């Protein structure tokens, strides 16, 4: 029988954790491979996490080998093959960005160090907690021995939002949409790019026109998180869990020939994005490793949008560096 995968999930008692764990139990994340679950939580949420673990028992999943709950990153990450970092300190009213970055560096720095020391040799790390790109940078910087391509920030939710909007606009099923890219930061400055996208076999730009592509589409996708908060009275949870599963399956199984998806990866300088920052790119997975899709032509409009989001990422990196946290 297949040896189990060890999954460590931080923020496991939070909303996204609560949604994701039961989908792991039903095999959506790792197929038929059995899984050991390590739930990492802040000390104040350990009791709630233990409650979620009881419910996981009640799911009577044939795939779950065991569940452990801990507040110690080293215990959670020991031997972990997949680490999903959801737990973060959300921005509260009146909180400066500098404070937000500092508090989160206090979480992701030590977690990076711990995973670098004790995770399995084949570990993959996916960061969801915001600011996701810079939290990924902090995690990776503190785990220098883990190969750089193993770290990703989740931008698949933004990608899925872009796919859905383009399908709605053009009246086709989502399966007809390909070659969309989300570039840059997981924030309002992100650039959902349909310049290379296809609707069926037609260039998306010919179908929707420049006006819609360059204003409405970008605004709707980039502001979708806020729209959900207004409509639902809470941030995106189940769709985030879906995006985590989609990202992970695309990494494990690859994407359709001729297509790609989006993920925040540590830049190797591709597309003029400064080396070392974590930016969303067009990506494909080759033998389970993320690679940036090369050779796409970047016109002046795209250049300006990518540069604007990259400027924000450089700013975040500078702020964390200035605090002595990188």
> Which residues belong to the active site?
186
DSSP state, 25?
Answer: H
Binding pattern to ligand NAX, positions 41-80, x when CB under 6 A? xx--x-----------------------------------
DSSP state, 196?
Answer: T
Of the candidates 5, 35, 63, 157, which one interacts with ligand NAX according to CB under 6 A?
A: 157
**What residues form DSSP beta bridges with 69?**
39
Of the candidates 88, 115, 126, 241, which one interacts with ligand NAX according to CB under 6 A?
A: 88
Of the candidates 33, 170, 189, 235, which one interacts with ligand NAX according to CB under 6 A?
A: 235
Nearer to ligand NAX, 239 or 285 (CB): 239
Write down the least CB distance from residue 278 to ligand NAX, Å.
Answer: 12
Nearer to ligand NAX, 14 or 198 (CB): 14
Q: How far apart are CA 16 and CA 18, in angstroms?
A: 5
Q: At CA 285, angle to CA 175 and CA 129, rounded to 5?
A: 85
Binding pattern to ligand NAX, positions 117-156, x when CB under 6 A? -----------xxx-x---------------------x--
Structure tokens at 40: 């990492």
Is residue 142 annotated as involved in ligand binding?
Answer: no
DSSP output for 210-260: HHIIIIIHHHHHHTHHHHHHHHHSS---HHHHHHHHHHHHHHHH---TT--
Q: Give the CA dihedral 108, 272, 223, 240, nearest 10 degrees.
A: -50
Residues 6 or more apart whose Cβ sits within 8 Å of residue 154? 126, 127, 128, 132, 186, 240, 243, 244, 247, 263, 264
| Cis peptide bond upstream of 138, omega within 30 | no
Binding pattern to ligand NAX, positions 272-291, x when CB under 6 A? --------------------
- The site that binds ligand NAX (CB under 6 A) totals a number of residues, namely 26
Q: Which stretch binds ligand NAX (CB under 6 A): 95-103, 137-145, 164-172, 236-244?
A: 236-244
Cβ pair 126, 84 in contact under 8 A:
yes
- Sole residue written with tokens 């160090």: 113
Cβ pair 279, 133 in contact under 8 A:
yes
Tell me the CA distances in angstroms from 147 to 29, 56, 74, 125, 140, one per residue in order: 22, 33, 19, 11, 9
Q: Which stretch binds ligand NAX (CB under 6 A): 84-92, 93-101, 141-149, 279-287?
A: 84-92
Cβ pair 56, 64 in contact under 8 A:
yes
Write down the least CB distance from residue 39 to ligand NAX, Å.
Answer: 9
Q: Interface residues for ligand NAX in 5-44 (CB under 6 A)?
A: 10-11, 13-16, 40-42
Nearer to ligand NAX, 105 or 208 (CB): 105
Nearer to ligand NAX, 129 or 282 (CB): 129
Strands across the sheet containing 198-199: 177-178, 198-199, 202-203
Nearer to ligand NAX, 143 or 157 (CB): 157
237 contacts ligand NAX (rule: CB under 6 A): yes
240 contacts ligand NAX (rule: CB under 6 A): yes
Write down the least CB distance from residue 131 to ligand NAX, Å.
Answer: 8
- Report phi then psi at 96, rounded to 5: -75, 155
Annotated binding site: 11-17, 91, 97, 104, 111, 128-130, 161
Query: Contact positions toward ligand NAX, by CB under 6 A?
Result: 10-11, 13-16, 40-42, 45, 86-88, 90, 107, 128-130, 132, 154, 157, 186, 235-237, 240
């Amino acid at each position: 029988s297949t040896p189990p995968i060890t999954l460590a999930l931080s923020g496991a008692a939070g909303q996204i954790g609560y949604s994701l764990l039961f989908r792991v139990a039903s095999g959506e994340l790792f197929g038929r491979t059995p899984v050991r679950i390590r739930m990492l939580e802040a000390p104040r949420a350990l009791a709630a996490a233990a409650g979620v673990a009881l419910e996981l028992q009640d799911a009577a999943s044939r795939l779950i080998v065991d569940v452990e709950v801990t507040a110690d990153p080293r215990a959670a990450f020991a031997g972990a093959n997949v680490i999903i970092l959801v737990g973060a300190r959300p921005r509260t009213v009146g909180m400066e960005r500098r404070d937000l970055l500092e508090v989160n560096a206090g979480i992701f720095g030590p977690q990076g160090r711990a995973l670098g020391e004790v995770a399995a040799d084949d570990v993959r790390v996916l960061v969801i907690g915001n600011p996701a790109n810079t939290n990924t940078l902090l995690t990776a910087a503190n785990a220098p021995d883990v190969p750089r391509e193993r770290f990703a920030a989740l931008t698949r939710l933004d990608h899925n939002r872009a796919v859905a909007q383009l399908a709605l606009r053009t009246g086709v099923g989502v399966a007809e949409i390909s070659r969309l890219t989300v570039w840059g930061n997981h924030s309002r400055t992100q650039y959902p790019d349909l310049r290379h996208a296809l609707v069926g076999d037609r260039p998306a730009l010919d179908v929707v026109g420049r006006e819609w592509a360059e204003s409405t589409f970008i605004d709707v996708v980039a502001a979708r998180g806020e729209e959900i908060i207004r409509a639902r009275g809470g941030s995106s949870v189940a769709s985030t869990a879906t995006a985590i599963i989609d990202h992970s399956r695309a990494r494990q199984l690859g994407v359709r020939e001729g297509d790609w998806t989006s993920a925040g990866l540590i830049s190797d300088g591709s597309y003029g994005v400064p080396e070392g920052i974590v930016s969303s790119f067009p990506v494909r997975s080759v033998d389970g490793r993320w690679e940036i899709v090369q050779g796409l032509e970047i016109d002046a409009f795209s250049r300006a949008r990518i540069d604007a989001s990259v400027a924000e990422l450089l700013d975040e990196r500078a702020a964390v560096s200035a605090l002595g946290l990188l």
